[in-house]
Structure 1
Amino acid sequence: MVDALKLRVLEVQFFQLPMAFKKPFRFGAYSLSECPQVFTRVVVQAGECVGEGFSAELAVPRWFDKRPHLSAERNVDDLFAALFAARNGYLTADGARTVFELHNIVNSTVLQDAPTLPALVRSFGQAQIEKALIDAVCRLASTSFAQATRANLWGIGFSEACAPDLLGVDASAVLQSLVPRDKMWLRHTVGFPVSRDGSAEPSALSELASAVRDQGLRFLKIKLSGSPDADARRVEEICAQFAPAELPFFSLDGNEQYAGVEGLHNLCAQLSRIPALKGERLGKKCLFLEQPLPREKALDATVRLGDLPMAVAIDESDDEDDAFVRARQRGYRGVSSKACKGVIRSLVNVVRCLHANRGDSLKCFVTPEDLCTQPGWALQQDLSLAALTGASHAEKNGHQYVASFAGLSDGITSKFMEAHADLYGMTDSSARLRVAEGRLSASSINRCAGFGTLVVPELDRMAEVHELEVR
């Protein structure tokens, strides 16, 4: 067994690129047309070796913090402030530490330094540096993320102070059992079509049917509005586009739009009356319902979801390392994996599910979801993580809303196209995510050294993010 690498974090820098969407991305009650993509660079020392690591992620307003009185600009400022609160924790950590030790240290220091920021906002700040550290470890060790995780180079382990629900579980043995998937089914996001000014447009059901046919899609993710009547009608309209034998599997995304559990029972009752979903077909075709309740209520002691006829997963409520433990007590069975919330958090949840599901039971699951990750570093790091979760399908939607490799030079685009020709292809003279028979290839990212890629971003072409104080 290879020892986990111990690091000293020497430098942390942040840069940004403005990203204009080619069409608005609607989640919940908000439509997003632009936001910055944040790039993180770290310099670390491991023994006598010094190396760099990189990460990228959209700083999406109105998702990490949906409080209506805050502007989108304030949301982005808070995400930037969270970056620097986390940076302080990493730079002041004593001695050489493993990635997992640093994760736990910074969890505490960020809470102390930024107590007014919502937990999910704090998670974003820490996650960007954590991803760059993981990339630095992979580059220093000349190994892939999958290989580094299976060797537990992160030093993940459990104690009374950290994941006490897993006390006695051998994290290294569980991680060593993970087998990365080289092919993952793409779960295609079916959003609410909106115009540039945010108003509703006519249904694009015919476009959806064409996409399913042309790309060989077998999995969908259907966005919901919070109205059982309207949502059931929408699902029925989508189902009507396909012959019964050709209906894709689908998940439902509540985006915190349902006020309470009663509405979920109403929704399930109406879905069960849809001709294409009657009888056992609802349970077979509908994979799970994602984050239907607002994060402020979702984990209340009064919430009981065990008697719903479909599995329910948390997403926005996964804002702390023990959130899934608390969610399972309320009847939730699933938890999303998003690198923007933290890689270590997702890996620990994978261990939780494998431990709970030993034998033939399927008590809980990790589901890879997407927050508009962009081709390049963000998408490939997130897909590298998704390939190790045990899931066979993953949502990916960034390619639907932003032009591929937007803001990056032709030289950088060419490097990605050459190094990851299995993942990208040319369509209409433009670089695009390659969807082949409904699947994405993770083969090259599972095997390359570095976290998803060895391509280095051109930071000198970007604006540096300067420190913002926590408000």
Structure 2
Amino acid sequence: MSKGKATDVRILNVEIGFEAVSFRAPLKFGGRVVDHTYLINARVDVESRSGNQASGYGSMPVGNVWAWPSPNVEPADGEAAMKAYAEKFAELFASYPEFAHPLEIHFNVGAEFHHQAKKISDRLNLAEPLPQLAQLVSTSPIDAALHDAYGRVHKKNIFHLLSAEYCNEDLSYFLDEQFAGEYLDKYTLREPVAKLPLYHLVGALDPLTDADVTDRPDDDLPMTLGEWIAADGLTHLKIKLSGDNLDWDVDRVLAVEKIATDAQAKRGCAEWFYSCDFNEKCDSAEYVIEFLNRVKSSAAQAYDRIQYIEQPTSRDLEAASAAKMHDVAKLKPVVIDEALVDYEALLKCRELGYSGVALKACKGQTESLFAAAAAQKFDMFLCVQDLTCPGSSFLHSCSLAAHIPGIAAVEGNARQYCPGPNKKWRKRYPAVFDIKDGNIVTDRLNEHGLGFHLPEWVSSIPAGVKDDGADQVATTERIVKKTVRDES
């Protein structure tokens, strides 16, 4: 690494804790049903070379069912391992001795990711180490808090701090020589776009009509698809599909099309879109092509509304049976999701025919920015997806989406499944959490750090935010893990 900038920071302290969140309605994906999660909440304190200090905050759901869907590790064990991994990296980030830019700190600490994944799994007697995706999710709150603190110590939004003026290394240091002389300011926006369409999730268990409702929660939120469209003016619907039952998948899209057509007609909306998410369950590209052809023959207008296909086959890119997506991509953009864990994976997916990239804040601010740069370099379709992120984790996701050129839409489904942590944040950012005309208003996400203000109640409870009696949210599960630099 080069000599360093006057703007570099070092980490003084890392705090981490876990916050239980229950769901108002179950969410099914990848063949499993989720009805609760934990937030990993992190606080990072930094110091600049000039001696100024600031704190940053990051939060992200554990999301182990999505990040680690292993037949060899029970979900509860995977969840525990991801928490332990986050705790370990609180220690490792706090012990990083150098002044640097957050991109460089994360990149260098990340050299320990795979080693610690094996050590944690061995300590917990698990059958396999944490996979790379679980590693990224577990450390993403710390990465976010570090970027947030860096912005706050310089009293700027982090998207103003990605140029050669602040970064010690260009992108070729992190990616390859195609990016020589380039910095992330080339691939990001200084100011957020004014608004973005929201992708609303239509889960496999979600009721489309009143006839499908078996248990309506005791709240004032919509429940059926028609109710959600009417309430939020939705224009983008993400449809969860089975991937191993072609008849059900086609029928589900046609049923959504019928409900959406009726609901949109009532509000005078003529244009809306779908994305289709098979959660890797398809066994081949041919399945996807047959699915698209059958949708097109049954309802051409529904086919036309499909904006993209989300990674339909296995995330295992090295398998001999890894499906090639070239023919699917001729019909619709096919985006990388679960397989996108680093730049090398993105290159491999391009070889396999993927034509788009799904960014996710849960993979870390650093890795998301690298993926966004590569996707733009290679002229790929771009969207930002969700890990059912509530509260500040959703604000982080929206800020990321609003500062990347060409984002088609941003997914946000915590408001459907676990809205409790949103309540306090909604008071300051109502236009982000209260959807109007199908859009999230993002023009205010230009404040210091990650882009949004940290209220006093975050600063006072840095690693376990409570929600004042909201029944969807329990208090912090355990004591805060605190690591302070030993100056001796």
1:443 counterpart SS class: coil
1:240 counterpart SS class: helix
Amino acid at match of 1:232: V
Matched, 1:295 2:304: no
Kept after mapping to 1: 8 A contact 2:45/2:53: yes
1:13 counterpart SS class: strand
Distance 2:206 2:197 in 1: 26
Corresponding residue number in structure 2 for 1:387: 402
Matched, 1:146 2:148: no
1:111 counterpart SS class: helix
Corresponding residue number in structure 2 for 1:256: 280
Distance 2:114 2:200 in 1: 36
Distance 1:330 1:249 in 2: 26
For residues 321 and 342 of structure 1, do their structure 2 counterparts lie closer, same or farther at Cα, with a shift above 3 Å needed? Answer: farther
1:24 counterpart SS class: strand
Task: Measure how far apart 1:383 and its partner are.
Answer: 0.8
Matched, 1:41 2:43: yes
Kept after mapping to 1: 8 A contact 2:162/2:183: no
Distance 1:221 1:162 in 2: 33
* Mapping of residues 278-357 of structure 1, within 5 Å: 282=303, 284-297=304-317, 302-308=322-328, 309-357=331-379
1:446 counterpart SS class: coil
Amino acid at match of 1:396: G
Corresponding residue number in structure 1 for 2:387: 371
Corresponding residue number in structure 1 for 2:111: 108
Distance 2:179 2:449 in 1: 32
Choose from 8, 24, 27 the match for 2:26.
24
Matched, 1:55 2:58: yes
For residues 23 and 154 of structure 1, do their structure 2 counterparts lie closer, same or farther at Cα, with a shift above 3 Å needed? Answer: farther
Choose from 177, 186, 193 the match for 2:198.
186
* Mapping of residues 377-416 of structure 1, within 5 Å: 377-389=392-404, 390-405=406-421, 413=424, 416=425
Corresponding residue number in structure 2 for 1:438: 438
Task: Number of aligned residue pairs: give it.
Answer: 434
Q: Which moved more, 1:67-76 or 1:186-195?
A: 186-195
Matched, 1:420 2:429: yes
Corresponding residue number in structure 2 for 1:361: none
Q: Deviations over 1:24-50 (max 9, x none)?
A: 111121111112112101111111112
Distance 1:165 1:11 in 2: 35
Kept after mapping to 2: 8 A contact 1:26/1:191: yes
2:83 counterpart SS class: helix
Kept after mapping to 1: 8 A contact 2:199/2:411: yes
Task: Measure how far apart 1:438 and its partner are.
Answer: 1.0
* Mapping of residues 87-126 of structure 1, within 5 Å: 87-115=90-118, 116-126=129-139
For residues 371 and 307 of structure 1, do their structure 2 counterparts lie closer, same or farther at Cα, with a shift above 3 Å needed? Answer: same
Task: Measure how far apart 1:312 and its partner are.
Answer: 0.9
Amino acid at match of 1:296: D
Corresponding residue number in structure 2 for 1:174: 186
For residues 125 and 417 of structure 1, do their structure 2 counterparts lie closer, same or farther at Cα, with a shift above 3 Å needed? Answer: closer
TM-score with structure 2 setting the length = 0.81
Matched, 1:230 2:230: no
Q: Deviations over 1:367-404 (max 9, x none)?
A: 100111102x1111111001122214111001100133
Amino acid at match of 1:67: S
Q: Structure 1: which 5+ residue stretches go unaligned?
A: 358-363, 424-432
Distance 1:76 1:173 in 2: 36
Task: Measure how far apart 1:5 and its partner are.
Answer: 3.4
For residues 129 and 177 of structure 1, do their structure 2 counterparts lie closer, same or farther at Cα, with a shift above 3 Å needed? Answer: closer
Distance 2:204 2:318 in 1: 24
Distance 1:442 1:307 in 2: 36
Q: Deviations over 1:194-214 (max 9, x none)?
A: 69xxxx967999921232233
Corresponding residue number in structure 2 for 1:266: 290
Q: Percent identity at matched positions?
A: 22
Task: Measure how far apart 1:178 and its partner are.
Answer: 5.7
Q: Which moved more, 1:23-32 or 1:348-357?
A: 348-357
Corresponding residue number in structure 2 for 1:79: 82
Q: Which moved more, 1:23-32 or 1:145-154?
A: 145-154
Distance 1:176 1:9 in 2: 25
Corresponding residue number in structure 2 for 1:68: 71
1:62 counterpart SS class: helix
Kept after mapping to 1: 8 A contact 2:281/2:313: yes
Kept after mapping to 2: 8 A contact 1:146/1:384: no
Distance 2:182 2:23 in 1: 44
1:372 counterpart SS class: coil
Task: Measure how far apart 1:54 and its partner are.
Answer: 0.9
Task: Measure how far apart 1:448 and its partner are.
Answer: 5.0
Amino acid at match of 1:189: L
Distance 1:299 1:251 in 2: 26
Q: Deviations over 1:102-158 (max 9, x none)?
A: 121122112222232211111123322110001101111112233334787465622
Alpha carbon RMSD of aligned pairs, Å?
A: 2.9
Distance 2:165 2:247 in 1: 48
For residues 24 and 149 of structure 1, do their structure 2 counterparts lie closer, same or farther at Cα, with a shift above 3 Å needed? Answer: farther
For residues 442 and 257 of structure 1, do their structure 2 counterparts lie closer, same or farther at Cα, with a shift above 3 Å needed? Answer: same
Task: Measure how far apart 1:229 and its partner are.
Answer: 1.7
1:328 counterpart SS class: helix
Amino acid at match of 1:371: L
Q: Which moved more, 1:436-445 or 1:146-155?
A: 146-155
1:57 counterpart SS class: strand
Distance 2:92 2:297 in 1: 53
TM-score with structure 1 setting the length = 0.84
Distance 1:235 1:4 in 2: 55
Task: Measure how far apart 1:69 and its partner are.
Answer: 3.4
Q: Which moved more, 1:288-297 or 1:452-461?
A: 452-461
Task: Measure how far apart 1:88 and its partner are.
Answer: 3.9
